[in-house]
Amino acid sequence: MILAHYIIGVTLGNYFGNFWFIFLGSVLPDIDHLYIIFKHKIFSWREIINSIRFENKYKISYKTKYVHSLFGAIVISSPIMFFNFTVGLYFFVGYIIHLILDWVDIDNKQYLYPFKKTFQGILPISSKTEIIITIFLIFLMILSF
């Protein structure tokens, strides 16, 4: 649901205000993807896309336990809340929505880190169902303007 994070961030930002903080909260958790790309030296677009779609085949996980977890949401949102609680709350909500969207993806996630419990969705990345959901979300985003 890579595009869905951007679309949801824009849509909710339009509906509720504090656009940039909801938007950043909804896309920032994927910063760990850059870490994985550099760590595994995956530099061609084709390899990046294939490794995201078929994580098991590549034996990597793009969703790290530090960022794609409630722990990550709290740690990253806390400094923002310290300076402006309302803005930090919007950021946190965007972050949590990102995690909820990722829940349906078939790859493993550790949302309750530091606990070892893993979660796995049922939807393959870039599947027809995911594309249909993304198109529906684009429709909702257009309505938000």
Mean pLDDT of 116-120: 88
Give Cβ neighbours of residue 13 (< 8 Å, ≥ 6 apart).
19, 20, 21, 22, 23
Q: Mind listing the pLDDT tens digit for each residue in 59-83?
A: 888 888 899 999 999 999 999 999 9
Amino acid at 46: R
pLDDT at 27: 94
pLDDT at 1: 67
Q: Mind listing the pLDDT tens digit for each residue in 8-47?
A: 999 999 988 889 999 999 999 989 888 989 998 888 889 8
pLDDT at 17: 83
Quickly list H helices, 40-69: 45-53, 55-58
